[in-house]
Amino acid sequence: MTDERDEVLANQPDAGETPDAVETDSAALNGDQDSGAEASEEATESLRELVTYLVNSLVDEPETVEIDVSRRGPSVHIQMRLPEGELGKVIGRGGRIAKAIRTVLLIAGSKYHLRVSLDIES
C-alpha cells in the first residue's frame, strides 16, 4: 500500500512545475491570428462531427439526416433536418435525448469558448 502511494506522489509535478497540459493550452491561446482562424475551423468541424456521430447512432437511416453548421463570432448554430419517422428517436420522450445532445454540445463548445445552439426539424 505504501509503495503505491509513494509511486503516485513521485509522479506528481513539483510545486513550481507547470503540468504539460497547461503549457500546451497556454501555447494555443497565445498563438497568432492565423492559428486562431484554423482553430475556429477545427472547432466548427469537431462540433459537426460530434453531432453527426451522436445522431447517426440514434437513427435507423443516417443517410437521411442533414446537418448544417454556421458560425457567427463566438456562436455556432447547428441546424439538423431529418424525416418525421426519425424525429422521435432524436428528440426522445419529453425532449430528454435532444436536451442531452444540447448539453454535450454545450460542453464541447466550451472547450473552444463557443456558444452552441441546436435546432431539430423535420
Instruction: Give 99-112 pLDDT, tens digit per residue.
Output: 999 999 999 999 99
User: What's the whole-model pTM score?
Assistant: 0.69
Nearest to 29 by CA among 113, 121, 92: 113
Q: Which ranges of 1-122 would DSSP assign to H, the alpha helix?
A: 2-10, 20-29, 33-58, 84-91, 96-111
pLDDT at 4 over 50: yes
Question: What does the pLDDT look like over 63-79, one tens digit per residue?
Answer: 999 999 999 999 999 99
Confirm if 121 and 80 have CB atoms less than 8 A apart.
yes
Q: Which residue has the higher pLDDT, 27 or 35?
A: 35
CATH of 37-121, one of 3.40.50.1220, 3.40.640.10, 3.30.300.20, 3.40.630.30: 3.30.300.20
Average pLDDT, integer, range 20-34: 44
Instruction: Spell out the domain ranges in the chain.
Output: 37-121
